[in-house]
Structure 1
Amino acid sequence: MRFGFVARVCVPLFAAVGALLVPAQAAGAHPFGPPSTARIAVDGDRVTLAWLPAEDDWVALGQSLGAFEDPAAGADTTLTGEQKLARSAAVRDYLLGHVGVTQAGRPCAAELAPLERLRTEGARFSFACPEPVTAVDVRVGALTDLHEAYRTMLTADTPAEPAQALLTATADTRRVRFDAQAGGGVPLVVPAVALLAVLALLVALLVRRRHLSTGAGA
């Protein structure tokens, strides 16, 4: 009888606890989807970066920063969620505080473009570095304070090593090295052209020497 009583009490309790846990896990499932993307490019001393998370991640970020009004308090229905994110000073400050580029330990001055077309183009940054860029440390730590499972796939549009890197909550910064052509140095094609010119000159000298030898022998 005691076992029957325990079963009658515990089974419904476990079921109730399970019902509470499942929605909680489902609500927090979006950090486990595809990673956000960040595309980086270099031109001289300037670095550009576009960070693009999923649409529901923008919603989660906006909610955490108070970019959306409480519906119970009479939310403004004339603006879209994207427009509310774009107008939020808290969102801009957050992005500038969680995405950055440093060169030899010195921060590159950051500019954040107006937050328009967030769903298609993401947050667009421009960084002015002290020197022409050959190597920089890139940090993308956005969203990881909401959940440690968030991550960002960094991809270089300018030839770089590595060409791609996964940034996570525990490793949100990666050094990226760009070749000389990408960083404004001597183009890589110049040595190749010079080498071809030298080879052509050597061939011409050898041919001329052979002709001279043949003429002397005659």
Structure 2
Amino acid sequence: MWLTARRARTSLLLALSAFAMTVAGPAAPATAHPFGPPPTARINADGSHVRLVWKATADDWVLLGQALGAFDNPTGDEAFAVLTGEQKLQRSKELHAYLLDRITVSQSGAACRAALAVPQHLLDNGVDFTFTCPHPVQDVDVRLAALTNLNAAYRTVLSAAHATPARVLVTSEDTTKRLDFSAAAPTGGASAAALTTSGIAAVAAAVGLFVLLRPRRTRKATS
């Protein structure tokens, strides 16, 4: 019941934003929302595979969709017009390309092959990356640069299951962090339960990090 109500509210937000875009045109980077709860990324490794789940708030998804034209319907396609905001984001080739370009994992300087799943309810579930690296994972470099091109004040809380560091803040000045999984359990990799627990801890940490490290909001007069 609660999730259904939440999806309804967030879908309405996306739908209203998409409608506003048809009237007002694309959003400028100055309208970014980096001052709310930061995006989060949860990561674990199993053999040569790395899984990463990236989540952002509804406001951030709206901003990203606007910047990439995911809500635009230049041909007046009636089928497209009735889609929800989440469905438009899910089907956006520009969004897929953007995320694959700005969220990456590499091993010893070699990029790990990425696959991206964008679920229908991405506001609840986030987007799910699977990276296949050349060798079994010991340490990898994780780059999280989504949204920072729209506003440099964006930060992402990265949490890892069975890795060092277990939690770190990623900023626009330092978008790449090295994670060491060499101390992880040698068999089975990180379980789904461990990943879920790590995610809950990351949300709690995000609130604390946001309070301590968020930039001071400034307002500029508009002409």
Q: TM-score, normalised by structure 1?
A: 0.67
Structure 1 or 2: more helix by fraction: 1
Query: Which structure: larger Rg?
Result: 1
**2:174 maps to what in 1?**
171
Residues 120-199 of structure 1 mapped to structure 2, 5 A cutoff: 120-156=124-160, 158-182=161-185
**Structure 1's 182 and 63: CA in aligned 2 closer, same or farther, altered over 3 A?**
farther
State how far apart, in whole Å, the 2-side matches of 1:38 and 1:170 are.
Answer: 17
**1:90 maps to what in 2?**
94
**1:102 maps to what in 2?**
106
**Structure 1's 142 and 112: CA in aligned 2 closer, same or farther, altered over 3 A?**
same
State how far apart, in whole Å, the 1-side matches of 2:186 and 2:113 are.
Answer: 17
Deviates more, 1:114-123 or 1:81-90: 114-123
Structure 2 portions without partners, runs of 5+: 1-29, 189-223
The correspondence for 1:62, drawn from 51, 62, 65, is 65
Is the CA contact (8 Å cut-off) linking 2:163 and 2:183 kept in structure 1?
no
State how far apart, in whole Å, the 2-side matches of 1:114 and 1:38 are.
Answer: 14
Q: Which digits, 9 at most, give the CA deviation of each residue in 1:35-85, with x for residues without a partner? A: 1000001111100000001111001000000000269x6884411000000
State how far apart, in whole Å, the 2-side matches of 1:139 and 1:172 are.
Answer: 5
**Structure 1's 86 and 29: CA in aligned 2 closer, same or farther, altered over 3 A?**
closer
Structure 1 portions without partners, runs of 5+: 1-26, 186-218
The correspondence for 1:113, drawn from 107, 112, 117, is 117
Distance apart, 1:182 and its partner CA: 4.2
Distance apart, 1:178 and its partner CA: 1.0
* 1:33 equivalenced with 2:36 (yes/no): yes
Residues 44-83 of structure 1 mapped to structure 2, 5 A cutoff: 44-69=47-72, 76-83=80-87
Q: Which amino acid in 2 is paired with 1:139?
A: R
Q: Which digits, 9 at most, give the CA deviation of each residue in 1:95-134, with x for residues without a partner? A: 0000000001111000001443210111100000111111
Is the CA contact (8 Å cut-off) linking 2:32 and 2:60 kept in structure 1?
no
State how far apart, in whole Å, the 1-side matches of 2:162 and 2:184 are.
Answer: 9
SS at match of 1:68: coil
Q: Which digits, 9 at most, give the CA deviation of each residue in 1:127-159, with x for residues without a partner? A: 001111110000010000000011110001x21
Is the CA contact (8 Å cut-off) linking 1:44 and 1:182 kept in structure 2?
no
SS at match of 2:34: helix
Q: Which digits, 9 at most, give the CA deviation of each residue in 1:152-208, with x for residues without a partner? A: 10001x2111001111111010000013434659xxxxxxxxxxxxxxxxxxxxxxx
Is the CA contact (8 Å cut-off) linking 1:38 and 1:154 kept in structure 2?
yes
Aligned length: 159
State how far apart, in whole Å, the 2-side matches of 1:184 and 1:141 are.
Answer: 31
**Structure of higher RCO (CA pairs closer than 8 Å, 6+ residues apart):** 2
Q: TM-score, normalised by structure 2?
A: 0.66
Q: Which amino acid in 2 is paired with 1:121?
A: N
User: Once superposed, which parts of structure 1, at least 4 consecutive aligned residues long, lie more than 6 Å away?
Assistant: none
